[in-house]
Amino acid sequence: MLLEIALMGGLLSILVFIHFFVDWIFQSHAEAMVKHNNPKIRAKHCLIYTIGFVPFMALFHFSWLEWLLALNILFWSHFCEDTYIPVYLWAKYIRRPPEMCAPAKTVSSIDGYIHISAPDPKKGFVEFIGTPMGKILMIAIDQIIHICFLIPIAWMLMLHLADDM
């Protein structure tokens, strides 16, 4: 059991390295700035990302079903996560920064009074991730979610190595 945990940890560390290398090195700034709301650019990025894992995974001689499962996990988890919707939901329901929860106060130029409107979580999210803490947390939560989807891949790889032992 302990050897399997160590083996899976080693495999996960290789997958995490591949993740950072492919996700960040092969993506232009322009793509990074628009992929969240442009499905074509996001799909291209996710295809490149998924292909980046193929050379390492080829060492494990997956069956066609295992390939299908692994490649779909890599592509679709990345495609969904790069919308930043999971990070937005984390911020809205778990972190709950004041930018997303507080009602907006505006001073009317017409009557000079302060008007309070309902909180706008989407606008608040943009404000939150514009702060240094918001940027750090957005990147951290985004990466944690990406890495969580590498765990089933590491498990599949570990099963192949365990069979060879």
Q: What is the pLDDT of residue 42?
A: 97
Note whether 78 and 50 are within 8 A (CB): yes
pTM, to two decimals: 0.86
Task: Classify residue 77 as left (phi > 0), alpha (psi -120 to 50) or beta.
Answer: alpha
The residue written with tokens 């990406």 in the block is: 146
Q: Reduce the secondary structure of 13-58 to three states and give it as a string.
A: HHHHHHHHHHHHHCCCHHHHHHHHHCHHHHHHHHHHHHHCCHHHHH
Domain count, the chain: 1
What are 97-153's pLDDT values in tens digits? Answer: 988 887 766 666 677 676 666 778 888 899 999 999 999 999 999 999 999 999 999
Token pair for residue 84? 């930043």
What are 54-103's pLDDT values in tens digits? Answer: 999 999 999 999 999 999 999 999 999 999 999 999 999 999 998 888 77
Residue 116: give the domain boundaries: 2-164
53: helix, coil or strand? coil
